[in-house]
Structure 1
Amino acid sequence: MAHLGIVGAGLAGAGAAYALRDTDHDATILEKSRGVGGRAATRRRDGCRYDHGANYVKLPDERTGDLIRDLGDDGLVDIAEPVWTFGADGEIAPGDGDDEHKYTWEAGITQFAKRLLAETDAEVRKTTRAESIVRDGGGARDGTADGDTGPGGDRGGAWTVTDADGDDHGPFDALVLTPPAPQTADLLAATEWPDDGGALADLRAAVEATEFRTVRTLALHYPFELDVPWYGLVDVEKTHEIGWLSREECKRGHVPDGEGLLIVQLSPEWSTAHYDDSLEAAAAEAATLAADLVGDDRLADPDWADDQGWRYALPNEGLVGDGGPDAAAGAVAAAREAGLYLAGDWVAGRGRAAAALWNGIDAGESIAERLSGR
């Protein structure tokens, strides 16, 4: 049996563990927070549930729909109301009428990662922040001797992760890093990989060059429900202070009848400028912007508000790096040969829940294939 280490219990990390579910390999996930799902996150307050990161899961292909149904359709919510559009002038217009299915769960979108992990035997070690990584040059945990071929296809070796409390985790025959690129770059900067042939420096440079957009999300609650025909509004011109606005009451089981809860995701420019503003100040401005956009003055006065800042919310592109795609591909290949993998929506180059999931599954399947000869 081989042992896989995964840093991060978001959809990419859960996907990597899920890919090993029918193998005899086991997985340990190190998650810095108290829950799973990453940016596919749900909170609860005053009888409401709200998805304040990823709002739903689209079905970009048939395999995503099949997977969601395989995980169980109990509590599954298909949001019926459409997404409409607006631009810099704030004029709201119907979309193209070709809305894809938009799925979440009555218990919130965190169910996606929870249900994936429930299909596995993975151990999730929560409130465990990875600080540094070491690759030894000796045999892997199953006793592979020096000079023998190890799990990555190179000479034997294993990975150990040290957390912020100084505790070690491992050794792992393969390791998957799934945090956003800037946090992954910090981990790679704190990695010891003797005789890496320059691969570590190249990999770190490629990861550091990956750019992200910042998003601050406000949840605004009201003692009334809006009478509008849409679920969400999206800024198609990417010039408005609001990038996305949606109604959680359109999701069965999320908001009590007669109440309203808006999720307002501000533009990267606004979010960066106001990232450290107090909740009170940010909520007041977001509520005013929402009232102006929707054309309902009542929205300027929510009865409570919550917020979440996502400093690394959306990747601008996939893993390329300043050296170009060939250099990035070479560094990734060398790391994989040593049993070190990267996964996430930023590796896939598309800030979508399904992109993160399938990138993680692909990494897990690649590891399982490499370990299958053991």
Structure 2
Amino acid sequence: MAHIGIVGAGLAGAGAAYALRDTDHDVTLLEKSRGVGGRAATRRRDDCRYDHGANYVKEGDGRTVDLLHELGDDGLVDAEEPVWTFDRDGAIEPSDREEAHKFTWTAGITQFAKRLLAETDAAVRKTTRAESVARDDAGAWTVTDTDGDEHGPFDALLLTPPAPQTADLLAATDWPGADGALAALHDAVADTEFRTIRTLVFHYDFALDVPWYAVVNTDKEHAVGWLAREECKDGHVPDGEGLLIAQMSPAWSVEHYDDPLESAAEAGADLVADLVGDDRLADPDWVDDQGWRYALPDEGLAADAEALASAREAGLFLAGDWVAGAARAHEALWNGVDAGDRIADRL
């Protein structure tokens, strides 16, 4: 039996653990947060549940839909209202894209990672932030967390945090005999750029009467990048109430990332009210927010093939939507599944 370490219990890490579920390998996930799912996250407040990172899971291809049903149809939700578009001037209109399924759960999108991990015997060590990595002369990997505790030894190690955080880990990696592979891998990961997004959440004692579930800014020149109605998801918002998820543009988010919630929400609510054309939206009855410093990758990993091959041969693997090159929940999942399969093949 081999021991496998996975840094991060987001969808990529959970997908890798799921791929390894039928092996006799021992799997341990190290997760910095108090919960699993990463950016596929859900919060609860005043009888509301809301997905404040990834808003839903796209069907991608048939295997994603099949997996969702295999994990259990109880509580599975498909938001049926369409996604419309708007431009820099805030003109909202129907999209010419073909509508796709938009899956989540009544208990929220964090159910995806929870249900994947429930199918495994993997151990999840929460509130454990990896700080450095080392490989010994025998080929075993250990991870040291910010409290100074060591985890391992592992026969294989998978890193799934966003590229900037993975680059920091690689910079703090001791891998004797890497012969330049570690430096090449680090440089490639560090060059993978991420967009910053601040999510603002607005609750109202009324629901909007509009024909869309969400609107997305297609020319990337509006201060609001995405606006979604959480009440379109069964079980998320009590009847007669409204809850908007506003994901602000990267430019606005960077400028206002550290603003106090009160001032950021006031500015954001004004922008949302102007976009929708409803002055009532400027005055929500409560607000929430989440800053996603590393929200969406701009591109996929462009690592040297030789460096990647050397890392895999040494038992070091990478996974995530940034490795796949697509900022989608299902892409992170399947990239993690593929990494789990590669680890199984190697061991």
Place the TM-score, normalised by the shorter chain, in its bin.
over 0.9
**Which of the residues 232, 244, 247 maps onto 2:229?**
247
Counterparts of 1:98 and 1:210, CA distance in 2: 30
* CA deviations over 1:173-217 (Å, ceiling 9, x no partner): 000000001100111111100111111111101111010110000
Matched residue, 1:85: 85
Counterparts of 2:47 and 2:134, CA distance in 1: 45
Please give the secondary structure, in 2, of the residue aligned with 1:88: coil
**Which of the residues 167, 178, 183 maps onto 2:149?**
167
Cα shift at 1:27: 0.4
Matched residue, 1:348: 324
Matched residue, 2:245: 263
Normalised to the residue count of structure 2, the TM-score between the two structures is 0.99
The amino acid across from 2:145 in the alignment is: D
Please give the secondary structure, in 1, of the residue aligned with 2:92: coil
Counterparts of 2:82 and 2:166, CA distance in 1: 36
Counterparts of 1:126 and 1:248, CA distance in 2: 28
**Which of the residues 200, 222, 238 maps onto 1:218?**
200
**Which of the residues 309, 313, 328 maps onto 1:337?**
313
Counterparts of 2:97 and 2:226, CA distance in 1: 18
Counterparts of 1:339 and 1:51, CA distance in 2: 35
Cα shift at 1:60: 1.1
* Alignment of structure 1 residues 132-281 onto 2, 5 Å: 132-138=132-138, 157-281=139-263
The amino acid across from 1:105 in the alignment is: W
Identify the range of structure 1 (66-75 vs 90-99) with the bigger mean alpha-carbon deviation. Answer: 90-99
Matched residue, 2:5: 5
Counterparts of 1:180 and 1:78, CA distance in 2: 28
The amino acid across from 1:42 in the alignment is: T
Counterparts of 1:223 and 1:89, CA distance in 2: 28
Question: Unmatched 5+ residue regions in structure 2?
Answer: none
Matched residue, 1:15: 15
1:94 aligns with 2:94: yes
Question: Unmatched 5+ residue regions in structure 1?
Answer: 139-156
Cα shift at 1:97: 5.9
**Which of the residues 333, 339, 346 maps onto 1:363?**
339
* CA deviations over 1:5-62 (Å, ceiling 9, x no partner): 0000000000010000111112000000000000000000011000000000001111
Matched residue, 1:76: 76
Matched residue, 1:65: 65
Number of equivalenced pairs = 347
Counterparts of 2:97 and 2:213, CA distance in 1: 13
Please give the secondary structure, in 1, of the residue aligned with 2:309: helix
Matched residue, 1:126: 126
Counterparts of 2:114 and 2:4, CA distance in 1: 19
Cα shift at 1:96: 2.0
The amino acid across from 1:350 in the alignment is: A
The amino acid across from 1:258 in the alignment is: G
* CA deviations over 1:229-266 (Å, ceiling 9, x no partner): 10000001111100000000000000001100000000
Counterparts of 1:111 and 1:71, CA distance in 2: 10
Counterparts of 1:246 and 1:211, CA distance in 2: 25
Cα root mean square deviation, aligned: 0.7
Counterparts of 1:331 and 1:184, CA distance in 2: 15
Please give the secondary structure, in 2, of the residue aligned with 1:89: coil
Matched residue, 1:52: 52
Structure 1 residues 245 and 16: alpha-carbon distance in aligned structure 2, compared to 1, 3 A threshold: same
* CA deviations over 1:101-137 (Å, ceiling 9, x no partner): 0000000000000000000000000000111111001
Matched residue, 2:35: 35
**Which of the residues 298, 314, 323 maps onto 1:316?**
298
* CA deviations over 1:258-304 (Å, ceiling 9, x no partner): 10000000000000111000100110011000000000000000000
Matched residue, 2:266: 284
The amino acid across from 2:50 in the alignment is: Y
Question: What fraction of aligned residue pairs are identical, expressed as a percent?
Answer: 76
Counterparts of 1:357 and 1:60, CA distance in 2: 11
> After TM superposition, which residue ranges in structure 1, 4 or more long, deviate above 4 angstroms?
none
Q: Give the structure with higher Rg (CA).
A: 1
Normalised to the residue count of structure 1, the TM-score between the two structures is 0.92
Counterparts of 2:257 and 2:300, CA distance in 1: 25
